[in-house]
Structure 1
Amino acid sequence: MAEKRQYGGLQPGAKWGPFTTRLPGVHVDVSWPVVIQGSIIAVANGGALAPLMMEFFDVPFEVAWTTVSIQAFWVWAHTFLFGEPHVPGWITPALPLIIVFLGGFTPGVEAVHAMMALMITVSAIFLFFAVSGLGDKFNRLVPDTLKAGIILGAAIAAFMDEFERVQELPFTLISAWIVVLLIMYSIPFQKIPSGKIKALLAANALLVGFIVAGITGSITGEIQFDVQWGIFVPQFGEMFTTLSPFGVGLPGWDMIMTAIPLALTIYILVFGDLLVADSLIRDASKNRPDEKIDINYTRSHYSLAIRNIGHLFTGGAFVPMHGPLWTGLQVFVIERYKQGRNIMDSIFTGTTNIFLLAIPLSFLLPVMTLLLPILDVALSLTLLLTGFACAYIAMNMVTTNVGRGIALFIGTLTALEGPEWGLGAGVVLYILMMGIDRKNFNLRNKEDTNKNEESQM
């Protein structure tokens, strides 16, 4: 039996420095429903990075899949090793922008060095704000209009990439898109009376999307399954030779400088993820006074820096990079957590159990070969949901017509030309169009809008 906490106290664990390690079965209970669902989805979604690594880094599938097992450990480390209360994942909102960034380099060593440079600069930013504690202040200094433009750029880049991909698997992807969007965002679906079937679908939207894609793809002949038995032998040697600093060396300063604009953009996106994660946890805490959940931005920054640098030296260049939140699974855990202690004893019962079997499952050939034909689907759904979420978040961040126009301009320029153009032109345009005092301008803009509306009545 796992250790029990006092009512209203912190979940027990092994504390070291700012971190607390909690192991399933030792410090938290094992929840098999969470383990089974979470691990299958984690392996399927984690495998989505394989096509990207094959495309940009020019490595065979076996090397790309080897990295899947490495990233599974560093994702899991966020919660079980460092004690973060979030369900972690990639820096998914940045993925479309990273794809645009890598597209400017020759596949192979040059692209690997570019990705390494980005990982190093982003990790350095995490570390700087962890040591200085200035992360929250920096986030407040960035105007909402600029943030909205950056986030909208991620949405536009995601949609552009998927409109190209759909030409390869039209029936498979469109059917998966419709099903997942219907379950996650459809207003008519939300109005359906709550029940076990609806709850099951809502908690496993991605898994349902994979199943629908597999059935549709098989019927139309767009995908074929060839399930094999056995154990996958990871290609660690070739992975270190082709993807790690030990094999291809570290990137030069020129590459580091090239990565800085995108790194700053990514940091803004990550801080947004942290705010979303913490708002979900605070909302859940209203239903669960029995547990105190420690939210600590400094610890989160240290964790993100260690995870990304740790992956760089153990698994090499990693396209999506490690972030603080997997929104879909975080919501899944939160909803179970709200149901009471008899359903989920601690928030960490959910976060530490989700990835418990992800590593061993990734080495089973039946699992790997079953998922292989739908890896493009997994990547497509990841980018589609990222684009959808980024779009409505960005649109809600700006309240003036001028602000919306600037955000769209920044987003389009960022998606088409890269973050250095989006940030640079965006700052200049923001100062010229909005002025330095955002609050006063927004007030004036609202008054002008109201006058215009009155004159048209």
Structure 2
Amino acid sequence: MAKKREYGGIQPGVKWGPFTLRLPGVHVPVTWPEVIQGGLLSLATGGALVPLMMQYFDIPFEVAWSIVAIQLFWVWTQSFLFGDAYAAGWITPALPLILVFLGGFTPGAEAAQAMIAVTLVVVTLFLFFGLTGLGERFNRSIPTTLKAGIIMGAAIAAFQSELNRVQTLPVTLITSWIVVLIIMFSIPFNKLPNTKMKVIISANAILMGFIAASIAGIISGELTFNIEWGIFVPQFGELLAATSPWGVGLPSWSMIVAAIPIAIMVYILVFGDLLVADTLLKDASKSRPDEKIDVNHTRTHYALVIRNLGQLFTGGAMIPLHGPMWTGIQVYILERYKKSKKALDTIYSGPVNWYWLSLPLAFFTPIIGIMIPLLPVALSLTLLLTGFACAYVAMSMVSNNVSRGLVLAVGLLTAVQGPAWGIGAGIILYFILIGREPKQTETEETEEKSA
């Protein structure tokens, strides 16, 4: 039986340092809608990393899947072990930019070292800004137009990556794209009455995309499923040898220096995620005065340090990186939370319950057999949604044609030439074309955070 809290108080847990441990069934109630959906979607989405790590780290499927299984645990720790109310995930907007960066290195040990370099520099930034509390000041010092350009670079790189993939599974991928885009972004669909069926479909947009892709793939002959009974045995020794500092060694100083521009971009994207998360949680709190949501950016920074280092030394380098929030799932959980105390007694029930079922499922070979043919679909949907969302967020951040043109130029340079070119040329172009942006008003800052 989960512990009860006082009205308007913080959900109980076990305090350890700046963190709070909350276990399902002990400190928060078990909520089965989150457990079942979360277990399946977390595993399917996490599997999207498998083709990438096979390609860039030159490792077999079994090793890549072992890395995915380990990253599921470190994603879960953000809520159950460290006490954040965020539905944790990757730094998804950074994924296309990291792929551009890794494309400059030979697949295998060199690319793994490059990813280790990015991880170490990003972790250093998390630790520095966590200790000093200067993250918000740093974020404010970056002109909005340049931040929009970085986000646009992620969008362009994401769409670029799909041009070749769609040629291999045209019917399957295009079907999944259409279904997910209709559910998540279609204006006519959103205008339909909010029936129970529509609510269920809307809350499971990615799952609907997988189902549609499976049907289309089987009919077209693009997908075949090979399901066998058994237990998957993780290849810990092989993954540590191929992708971790224990096996490939630490990166050179030149790699670390090369990783600095993209690490800065990654941190800007992460802080943007935190601002969006705070806006969503603040809005949810208005509907639920019975609970105080504990938000602490310093704690989140420390948690991200531990998660990324934990992943690196127990599960090897991971593309992209561990981040604070899985935006789509955060929105889903908060909508359930706002409905009633009966739906979610505490905000922490959402993220604490969302991930844990994926851990045992990751070692169940029939589930893996279903997932393997759908891995390109999971990766494609991840990049498509990232590109779509990044594109409209970037354009919504600027309000004149000169800024829009600069956003596109910085985005193209970042996606095609790499992060260093994007930042360097972007700064020069910014001062030539715009100069100094006027100071943001409180309203404008709020709008940017909400975007």
Give the whole-Å Cα distance in 2 for the aligned partners of 1:135 and 1:20.
23
Please name the residue that 2:447 is paired with: none
Tell me the amino acid that sits aligned with residue 317 of structure 1. Answer: A
How far 1:10 moved relative to its partner?
0.3
Shift in alpha-carbon separation, 1:440–1:373, aligned structure 2, 3 A:
closer
How far 1:234 moved relative to its partner?
0.7
Please name the residue that 2:67 is paired with: 67
Give the whole-Å Cα distance in 2 for the aligned partners of 1:333 and 1:441.
31
Please name the residue that 2:223 is paired with: 223
Tell me the amino acid that sits aligned with residue 241 of structure 1. Answer: A
Stretches of 4+ aligned residues off by more than 6 angstroms: none
Once the two structures are superposed, residues 276-321 of structure 1 have per-residue CA deviations (whole angstroms, 9 ceiling, x without a partner) of: 1111111111100000001111111111111111100000110111
Please name the residue that 2:341 is paired with: 341
Verify the 8 A CA contact 1:7 1:291 in the aligned structure 2.
yes
Please name the residue that 2:449 is paired with: none
Please name the residue that 1:237 is paired with: 237
Matched residue SS, 1:5: coil
Shift in alpha-carbon separation, 1:441–1:382, aligned structure 2, 3 A:
closer
How far 1:168 moved relative to its partner?
0.6
Please name the residue that 1:445 is paired with: none
Tell me the amino acid that sits aligned with residue 107 of structure 1. Answer: P
Once the two structures are superposed, residues 186-227 of structure 1 have per-residue CA deviations (whole angstroms, 9 ceiling, x without a partner) of: 000000000110010001000010011011001101111011
Verify the 8 A CA contact 1:434 1:441 in the aligned structure 2.
no
The within-5 A match list for 1:19-418 is 19-418=19-418
How far 1:83 moved relative to its partner?
0.6
How far 1:248 moved relative to its partner?
1.3
Give the whole-Å Cα distance in 2 for the aligned partners of 1:120 and 1:336.
37
Once the two structures are superposed, residues 89-140 of structure 1 have per-residue CA deviations (whole angstroms, 9 ceiling, x without a partner) of: 0100000011111111000000000000000000000000000100000000
Query: What is the TM-score of this pair, normalised by structure 1?
Result: 0.95
Give the whole-Å Cα distance in 1 for the aligned partners of 2:422 and 2:159.
17
How far 1:69 moved relative to its partner?
1.1
Identity over aligned pairs, percent: 62
Give the whole-Å Cα distance in 2 for the aligned partners of 1:163 and 1:12.
49
Give the whole-Å Cα distance in 2 for the aligned partners of 1:10 and 1:412.
45
The within-5 A match list for 1:421-440 is 421-435=421-435, 437-439=436-438
Query: What is the TM-score of this pair, normalised by structure 2?
Result: 0.97
Structure showing greater radius of gyration is 1
Tell me the amino acid that sits aligned with residue 322 of structure 2. Answer: H
Give the whole-Å Cα distance in 2 for the aligned partners of 1:196 and 1:232.
38
How far 1:433 moved relative to its partner?
1.3
Once the two structures are superposed, residues 151-208 of structure 1 have per-residue CA deviations (whole angstroms, 9 ceiling, x without a partner) of: 0000000011112210110000000000000000000000000011001000100001
Give the whole-Å Cα distance in 1 for the aligned partners of 2:249 and 2:408.
39
Verify the 8 A CA contact 1:29 1:345 in the aligned structure 2.
yes
Could you tell me which runs of 5 or more consecutive residues in structure 2 were left unpaired when the two chains were aligned.
442-451
Matched residue SS, 1:166: helix
Matched residue SS, 2:360: helix
Tell me the amino acid that sits aligned with residue 403 of structure 1. Answer: S
CA RMSD of aligned residues (A): 1.1
Matched residue SS, 2:20: strand
How far 1:441 moved relative to its partner?
12
